Amino acid sequence: MSTSSHSYPMSSGEDQHSYIHNSSYQKAGINGVEERIKQAILEKLDLQLNSSISNFTIADFGCSIGPNTFHAVQSIIDTVKFQHLKQNNETNIVPLEFQVFFNDQSNNDFNKLFKTRPLSSECQYFLAGVPGSFYGRVLPRNSIHIGHTSYTNHWLSKVPEHVCNRESPAWNKNYIQCNNLIEEVTKAYKVQFIKDMEVFLEARAEELVHGGLMIVIGQCLPDGVPLYETWQGHVVETIGDCLMDMAKTGITSEEKIELFSFPVYFPQFSELKRTIEENGSFMIEMIETISHPFENMRLTNEFITSMFRAFLTTMIEQHFGNGVVDELFNRLAQKLSKHPIDFEMWKTQVVYYVVLKRK
């Protein structure tokens, strides 16, 4: 796998394997923190929301193809409208107009995104699609009042160098993720994560107005927990095992697997916190974690297989070719069926939510 910058959109289309139908785990994570985010907006947003602002701009970075992005945006709009009415206790105030920028990589399916947007009769905002990597500027300076991103910052801008190099101490062997088993690999991923996060926050700092809020939601590891101890890490390890089985039958090769590693990194919470604290452009208004709302639910094997398939398909196809994915996830389903995940035994990731205010 090349270590240059790539992008891997969520599975498109509307079939059973698409992200549109397999993003309820992410949605539950977002829903779990929704009320806290609303509260933070009500408490922290102070943009003199009187006559001086008539257009309110929101951007969702890494929006994918819905439906989560539309829900998140609507929730923000409802909250800002409420706040606007409260701060302008007059009957004749001009209602705010909202413009929402939906950003994702250029190869995201924007046609699909536009097709699945709320009906124009319900849509209370002007919508715009913005193609381009959020690890860089995508919007004019000083133009956004609230930025939002959820379940995106574990995607690195690239696979860390050396991770797919047999000669390097940071070689990830035939593991396909940063599972925290090899210290040098973890270090390489961590360096890339910190660098990417810095670039992300610098770009957002330029795009947000002073006093604007940046909301960041995602999953991370609890402090002291390596990924290989979590059930999420275990599922990806199992996918790696399936690939190795497929290499034995000649469908793919061990060499090909050794050249592959996901550009995905889940930091521990304190790592994430430190990275954000080091940024000088934002004040941290809130940075917390909650358990994922599904933590105490027994996820079915089918749900788990579908969720990881929608998340990982594009990357796997790009490296291993089109013919591999069906076989791979059939094998995953079989393995999970033979050895169901004992959720009591495995640790789990947590949902973090961060509200930053532009200085």
Binding of residue 130 to its own copies (CB under 8 A): yes
* Residue 359 binds its own copies (CB under 8 A): no
Find the shortest distance in angstroms from Cβ 216 to its own copies.
21
With respect to its own copies, which residue has the nearer C-beta, 214 or 276? 214
Instruction: Out of 11, 20, 58, 109, name the contact with its own copies by CB under 8 A.
Output: 109
- Under the binding rule (CB under 8 A), the answer on residue 106 touching its own copies is yes
Nearest distance from residue 158's CB to its own copies, in Å?
A: 16
Beta carbon nearer to its own copies, 184 or 206: 206
Contact flag: residue 138 with its own copies (CB under 8 A): yes
Stretch that binds its own copies, among 133-141, 162-170, 218-226, 251-259 (CB under 8 A): 133-141
How many residues touch its own copies (CB under 8 A)? 28
Q: Indicate the residue among 206 and 245 with the shorter CB distance to its own copies.
A: 206
Query: Which 3-state string (H, E, C) describes the chain?
Result: CCCCCCCCCCCCCCCCCCHHHCCHHHHHHHHHHHHHHHHHHHHHCCCCCCCCCCEEEEEEECCCCCCHHHHHHHHHHHHHHHHHHHHCCCCCCCCCEEEEEEEECCCCCHHHHHHCCCCCCCCCEEEEEEECCCCCCCCCCCCEEEEEEECCCCECCCCCCCCCCCCCCCCCCCCCCCCCCCHHHHHHHHHHHHHHHHHHHHHHHHHEEEEEEEEEEEEEECCCCCHHHEHHHHHHHHHHHHHHHHHHCCCCCHHHHHCCCCCECCCEHHHHHHHHHCCCCEEEEEEEEEECCCCCCCCCHHHHHHHHHHHHHHHHHHHHCCCHHHHHHHHHHHHHHHCCCCCCCCECCEEEEEEEEEC
- Kindly state whether residue 137 participates in binding its own copies, applying the rule CB under 8 A: yes
Q: Does 337 bind its own copies (CB under 8 A)?
A: no
Q: Is there binding between residue 14 and its own copies (CB under 8 A)?
A: no
To the nearest whole angstrom, how small is the minimum distance from the Cβ of residue 288 to its own copies? Answer: 33
Q: Which residues bind its own copies (CB under 8 A)?
A: 54-55, 97-99, 101, 106, 109-111, 114-115, 117, 120, 126-132, 137-143
